């Protein structure tokens, strides 16, 4: 029996983590704590909302007093912390919101957990604060080989056709932090606070840093769902700069499985990088998406290439992210389950099959869903 709070469980990655834990561990008591910002959508969890081991609590992670009371009432022994403002473009326009939620919110959770766990006879024994972070805290890698190289340690997520890494350097767990955007600066700050709570108070903590996720239930402000939706309606596809920036893509369910593995078997005070050695230049991934969407919509494959529109670059746009996840693979035996070609097919199919979800999110109707369904079950 464990009593676990998953913060940000109504968001993209969080909803996959909640689903996995609720289904796989019926003996656990899983509490999804989420403020339901624009990015939180309880429709993502319709299939588990009636399970007896699942509960939703509407709460802001910055609300220290209410969170502290929840820890006591539910006798929480594990926290998996995903709640965050997560979109880089929004952070460039509104950095304060990112500092508030990502830095102060994380600190508030840490302090409440510390006070509660230190008040117990067993103190920190059997407890864990697991913080989900991003590869963006490491800054940007250089594109030392724009044509691509083929390192020997590629994994299943690296596709059969596409083996390139665009440089010799990768982010390691020991790579020095060098965040560039307000988003990554706020995540870096929260990572430091988590480690400080371990080093200062002895709180059992783990931090993981993952690469770009893709898959179902991602808010269509992020590259892949935005572009799938735009191709559907033949709207232009805004490619920042020259489209040469490189991201390292991992299917979201593989991230959720990694979180499960690390939560149960990871070593306290460690950092694990999560990624599938699956680098793509934005423009290449965009062309693949156009081909897959066209084919699935019965259009001529590639006929929507003319929707590509090069626009002003993102400010401070990081050139290349590439995660070295060999520590996680060798120490805990995790590896990605999908090749990228399979993952992107599944993803496009999901968005096209779930037009209702996409329409509700793009129209704002999804917010009515939780207002109606959960009005009487929330804690403000
Ligand atoms: P998301 O934006 O889809 O979801 C964030 C969730 O947090 C939403 O449900 C939102 O309502 C909730 N939230 C926001 N502010 C809150 C607050 N003040 N109090 C309570 N809840 C709040 O994000 P995501 O893409 O699922 O990312 C989840 C986590 O994983 C984040 O910490 C992010 O930094 C990290 N991460 C994301 C990626 C990625 O590719 N998306 C990769 C690596 C790490
Ligand atoms: O690396 C992990 C990070 O990945 C996470 O921590 C973030 O929460 C998540 O949002 C993601 O950040 P990115 O900035 O890499 O993701 P995004 O989908 O916004 O952009 C992916 C790439 O595509 C990036 O190089 C910018 C580019 N892009 C994005 C959008 C939305 C475009 O060219 N046009 C667009 O319209």
Give the integer Cα–Cα distance in Å for 231 and 131: 35
Q: How confident is the model at residue 375 (pLDDT cuts 50, 70, 90)?
A: very low
Number of domains in the chain: 1
Q: Which helix (H) or strand (E) holds 6?
A: strand 3-7
pLDDT band at 161 (very low <50, low <70, confident <90, very high): low
Its pTM stands at 0.96
Residue holding tokens 């665009």?
Answer: 166
> What's the 346 CA to ligand 1 centre distance in angstroms?
22
At residue 183, the pLDDT reads 98
Cα→Cα distances 28→33, 196, 366, Å: 15, 29, 28
Pocket flag, ligand 1, residue 132 (CB < 6 Å): yes
Contact yes or no for 277/155 (Cβ under 8 A): yes
Query: How far apart (Å, rounded) are the C-alpha atoms in residues 55 and 73?
Result: 13
**pLDDT tens-digit map of 284-331:** 999 999 999 999 999 999 999 999 999 999 999 999 999 999 999 999
Q: With respect to residue 359, please indicate whether it lies within any of the assigned structural domains.
A: no
How far is the C-alpha of 24 from the C-alpha of 127, rounded, in Å? 20
Question: Domain for residue 120, yes or no?
Answer: yes
To test the pocket of ligand 1, the residue of 18, 32, 36, 40 to mutate (highest count of ligand atoms within 8 Å of its CB) is 40
Q: How far apart are CA 292 and CA 147, in angstroms?
A: 24
337 contact partners, CB below 8 Å, separation of at least 6: 156, 251, 253, 254, 257
Catalytic residue list: 135-136, 183
| Structural tokens at position 237 | 């596809």
pLDDT of res. 379: 35
Percentage of the chain beyond pLDDT 90 is 87
Whether residue 312 lies inside any domain: the answer is: no
130-146 mean pLDDT: 96
Place of tokens 């429709």: 43
| pLDDT class of 151 with cuts at 50, 70, 90 | confident
Residue 1 has pLDDT above 80, yes or no: no
3-state secondary structure of 117: helix
pLDDT of 185 higher than 90: yes
Q: Quick check: is 244 in a domain? A: no
Centre of ligand 1 to C-alpha 84, Å, is 4
pLDDT tens-digit series, residues 247-290: 999 999 999 999 999 999 999 999 999 998 999 999 999 999 99
Q: pLDDT tens across 46-74, in order?
A: 999 999 999 999 999 999 999 999 999 99
| Buried b / exposed e along 69-79 (16+ C-beta atoms within 10 A) | ebbeeeebbbb
User: What per-residue confidence (pLDDT) applies to 157?
Assistant: 72
pLDDT for the residue 273: 98
Whichever domain contains 150, its CATH number is 3.40.50.720
pLDDT mean across residues, the chain: 93
Average pLDDT over residues 145-152: 81
CA distance linking residue 183 with residue 366, whole number of Å: 25
Chain centroid to CA 336: 15
Is 266:333 a contact under the CB 8 Å cutoff?
no
- Identify whether 287 is part of a domain: no
Which atom, in ligand 2's list, is nearest to the CA of 89? 19
Between the CA of 210 and the centroid of ligand 1 the distance, in Å, is 13
- 315 lies in some domain: no
Residue range 195-220, pLDDT digits in tens: 999 999 999 999 999 999 999 999 99
Query: What residues contact 379, with CB distance under 8 A and at least 6 apart?
Result: 57, 58, 59, 66, 70
Torsion angle in degrees (nearest 10) through CA of 208, 214, 220, 224: 130
Pocket test for ligand 2, best of 134, 141, 223, 245 (most atoms within 8 A of CB): 223
3-class secondary structure, 176: coil
* Boundaries of domain holding 166: 3-214+250-278+320-339
Is residue 234 one of the residues assigned to a domain? no
Report the pLDDT value the prediction gives residue 79, as an integer from 0 to 100. Answer: 98
Give all strands (DSSP E) within 117-275, no chain letters.
Answer: 128-134, 205-210, 212-214, 237-240, 246-251, 271-274
Does residue 228 belong to any structural domain of this protein? no
Give the tokens for residue 80.
């998996």
């Amino acid at each position: 029996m464990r009593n676990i709070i998953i913060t940000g469980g109504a968001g993209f990655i969080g909803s996959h983590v909640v689903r996995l834990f609720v289904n796989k561990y019926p003996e656990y008591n899983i509490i999804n704590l989420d403020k339901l910002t624009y990015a939180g959508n309880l429709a993502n969890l319709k299939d588990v909302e009636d399970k007896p081991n699942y509960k939703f609590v509407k709460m802001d992670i910055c609300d220290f007093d209410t969170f502290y009371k929840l820890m006591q009432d539910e006798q929480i022994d594990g926290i998996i912390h995903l709640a965050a403002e997560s979109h880089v473009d929004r952070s460039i326009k509104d950095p304060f919101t990112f500092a508030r939620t990502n830095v102060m919110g994380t600190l508030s959770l840490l302090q409440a957990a510390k006070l509660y766990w230190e008040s117990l006879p067993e103190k920190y024994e059997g407890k864990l604060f697991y913080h989900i972070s991003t590869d963006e805290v490491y800054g940007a890698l250089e594109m030392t080989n724009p044509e691509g190289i083929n390192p020997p340690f590629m994994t299943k997520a690296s596709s059969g056709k596409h083996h390139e890494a665009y440089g010799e350097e990768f982010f390691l767990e020991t790579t020095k932090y060098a965040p560039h955007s307000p988003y990554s600066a706020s995540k870096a700050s929260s990572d430091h606070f988590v480690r400080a709570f371990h080093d200062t108070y002895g709180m059992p903590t783990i931090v993981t840093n993952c690469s770009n996720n893709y898959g179902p239930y991602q808010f269509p402000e992020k590259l892949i769902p935005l572009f799938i939706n735009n191709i559907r309606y033949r709207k232009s596809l805004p490619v920042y700069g020259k489209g040469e920036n490189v991201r390292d893509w991992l299917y979201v369910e593989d991230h959720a499985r990694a979180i499960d593995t690390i939560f149960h078997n990871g070593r306290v005070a460690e950092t694990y990088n999560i990624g599938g050695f699956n680098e793509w230049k934005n423009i290449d991934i965009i062309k693949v998406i156009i081909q897959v969407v066209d084919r699935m919509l019965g259009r001529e494959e590639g006929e929507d290439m003319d929707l590509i529109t090069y626009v002003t670059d993102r400010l401070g746009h990081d050139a290349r992210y590439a995660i070295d996840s060999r520590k996680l693979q060798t120490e805990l035996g995790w590896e990605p389950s999908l090749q990228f070609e399979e993952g992107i097919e599944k993803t496009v199919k999901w968005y096209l099959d779930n037009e209702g979800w996409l329409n509700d999110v793009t129209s704002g109707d999804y917010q009515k869903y939780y207002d109606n369904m959960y009005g009487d079950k929330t804690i403000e």
